Structure 1
């Protein structure tokens, strides 16, 4: 069960990344052309946020119920904090990715308000870029390859 859910978590990351790049590209195009923030722009940000929330739910299931790494870390948290690879999974990965989900959610909430289109494109660019950078910084690459 762990390997299936872990694989889904990894595959979904590819979709999250593609959706995030799409939001960033749309925001850059919107800012450079001074174009309107369209319904398609709003939906791109919404789909990015939804995919991140889905990814978070799958990650929480892995973290609390399925992962042998976190199970071992919970048995001796002091020792887990001394091992960088275990600490990455047990503390850094989950906390930084929760912050990334919050950033995407804040972006979506801010862009629902009646603000200028340029500000909406700026919000989408800043919050989505920050979320993707955070996500990429805490991926346990050694476990993937």
Structure 2
């Protein structure tokens, strides 16, 4: 079960990152071109929103069942080891903050009345979230 959830977490990560990148580009183009924000635009942003939230949910499940997650904090040595600190503290905390920012961007876009403002809320908050996510991916273990 652990291995399956680990593979699911890695697989959804590719989809979520790709969706975030595409939505950011799409919203940036929409904002710069001055076109109207439509229901289609909202649904495209919603896809990245949902994928990032699913990724967070699977990641939290993995965090609590993995020997590399929450259990590292119990030993007390996680903070002195950079790899253990990334896995046990930095990766989950920063990614929760990133998903909160993505959520704020999507929620604000629904309340803003101008199309440019809606696009801007999405591309700015999604981009900040994406940068945070990319900064805390454990690249050495993810690419192996």
The TM tier, using the shorter chain, reads over 0.9
Q: 1:142 — aligned with what?
A: 140
1:114/1:81 CA distance change after superposition, 3 Å: closer
Q: 1:106 — aligned with what?
A: 104
Q: TM-score, normalised by structure 1?
A: 0.93
Local SS of the residue matching 1:112: helix
Tell me how far apart the structure 1 counterparts of residues 110 and 70 of structure 2 sit (CA, whole Å).
40
Q: 1:118 — aligned with what?
A: 116
Local SS of the residue matching 2:20: helix
Residue 67 of structure 2 corresponds to residue 68 of structure 1: yes
Structure 1 runs of 4+ with >2 Å offset: none
Pairs within 5 Å for 1:13-28: 13-28=13-28
8 Å Cα contact 2:28-2:119 kept in structure 1: yes
Q: 2:78 — aligned with what?
A: 80
Q: 2:12 — aligned with what?
A: 12
Report the count of equivalent residues. Answer: 143
Q: 2:47 — aligned with what?
A: 47
Structure 1 gaps, min length 5: none
8 Å Cα contact 2:5-2:62 kept in structure 1: yes
Q: TM-score, normalised by structure 2?
A: 0.94
Local SS of the residue matching 2:111: coil
Tell me how far apart the structure 2 counterparts of residues 71 and 128 of structure 1 sit (CA, whole Å).
27
Q: 1:131 — aligned with what?
A: 129
Tell me how far apart the structure 2 counterparts of residues 63 and 71 of structure 1 sit (CA, whole Å).
6
Structure 2 gaps, min length 5: none
